[in-house]
Amino acid sequence: MNTITLLQPDDWHAHLRDGPALQRTVPDLANQFARAICMPNLVPPVKTVEEANAYRERILAHVPEGVHFDPRMVLYLTNNTAPSEVLKIKQSDYVNAIKLYPAGATTNSDSGVSDISKVYGVIEQLEEHQVPLLLHGEVTHNHVDIFDREKRFLDEVLSPLLRQFPKLKLVLEHITTSEAAHFVLEHDRHVAATITPQHLLFNRNDMLVGGIKPHFYCLPILKRQTHQQTLLEVATSGSPKFFLGTDSAPHSKDAKENACGCAGCYSAPTAIELYAQAFDQVGKIERLEGFASHFGADFYGLPRNTNTITLVKEDQVIPESLDYLDGEKIIPLHAGKTIQWRKV
């Protein structure tokens, strides 16, 4: 198959940042996706429906003329989030979920939840109103090996949580392990997961062999090839429990290539082509539309898009760098490499 036409896809997990960064991030995302779940880990974080609506307006100001893009918003769950905020989400036109970051788990997560039992009042309301809880699924204890943090989260946090709240609707974000994939499969329709292009295309060897490559460094971190293989299997299986979420995150070249380099891969400009590459490599390109365009919208209770995009099997070289803030550069995911699909 050399050409494939899809309903326009959505990105159910993306980082746009704020302020001048939006000049770069919004057009890149809007030229690929009809909708995106816009992560709330700004400084300060987006904690109320009112703040989310204001952030949405700032995003919309940077959508290119003639492009339809619908930012879907998320609130940042803190130890102090009022349970009453959940009903406001349910009644909102544009806010779709609430995001739990374990404190210290990733970029701008210092305001995150330190003990999940402290937010049981909010989670009870989420279950009652069927508002999705989005989870960065890692424990953050210093003594836990970074490659084991997702599995430990499943065992120590998420399994007990679902016993307490069995009808909670949740998305385990950017899963990276076989254990997470099987956890999602073993639970009912209320539990789903997003998968990034980097975790489908690469594993920890790509990041570490022949020298550390900071532009592959993300959190949760890339895992063994066996985990990558499982993620490819479930993403291309046709299961509606797995859908597209890039976790695209802009960081300047200087911030990545640093003694304390930050975590995140910037995939937004060529995300759908990267997913096409992954699906095609395992002979499942015909399954891409469900993963990219159907299952996320269905899970969130939103209508599927009606516009289409077309991908052709034609080589393109991902740019070595992209302009960013004040003359800085972003190095996109797989920079300088040739992929076999292109959006037309």
Q: In sequence order, what are the residues at sequence separation of 6 or more whose Cβ sits closer than 8 angstroms to the Cβ of residue 140?
A: 102, 103, 104, 105, 149
User: In whole angstroms, what is the distance from residue 7 CA to residue 309 CA?
Assistant: 6
Q: What is the pLDDT of residue 108?
A: 56
Q: What is the pLDDT of residue 1?
A: 81
The model's pTM is 0.96
For residue 41, what are its two tokens? 């880990």
Using 50, 70 and 90 to split pLDDT, how confident is the model at 106? Answer: low
Whether residue 111 has pLDDT greater than 80: no
> Are 289 and 276 within 8 A, CB to CB?
no
| 167-178: pLDDT as tens digits | 999 999 999 999
Whether residue 224 has pLDDT greater than 80: yes
Domain ranges of the chain: 3-343
Catalytic residue (choose from 247, 280, 298, 326): 247
Highest mean predicted confidence (pLDDT) among 136-145, 257-266, 286-295: 286-295
Of 86, 92, 91, 158, give the one whose Cα is nearest residue 124.
86
CA atoms within 13 Å, Cβ hemisphere of 110? 4
Whether residue 73 has pLDDT greater than 60: yes
Q: What is the pLDDT of residue 107?
A: 64
Q: What is the mean pLDDT of residues 110-116?
A: 79
Q: What is the mean pLDDT of the chain?
A: 95
Q: What is the mean pLDDT of residues 149-163?
A: 96
Q: What is the pLDDT of residue 259?
A: 85
Residues facing 316 on adjacent strands = 339
Q: What is the pLDDT of residue 112?
A: 79
3-343 CATH:
3.20.20.140
For residue 203, what are its two tokens? 């594993």
> Are 285 and 310 within 8 A, CB to CB?
no
Q: What is the pLDDT of residue 102?
A: 85
Question: 247 an active-site residue?
Answer: yes
Residues facing 84 on adjacent strands = none
174 annotated ligand binder: yes
Q: What is the mean pLDDT of residues 326-334?
A: 96
> Are 296 and 244 within 8 A, CB to CB?
yes
192 annotated ligand binder: no
Q: What is the mean pLDDT of residues 225-253?
A: 98
| 17-40: pLDDT as tens digits | 999 999 999 999 999 999 999 999
For residue 272, what are its two tokens? 């759908």
Place of tokens 């490559």: 213
143 annotated ligand binder: no
68 annotated ligand binder: no
Q: What is the pLDDT of residue 260?
A: 81
E-only strand ranges, 273-325: 308-317, 322-323
13 annotated ligand binder: yes
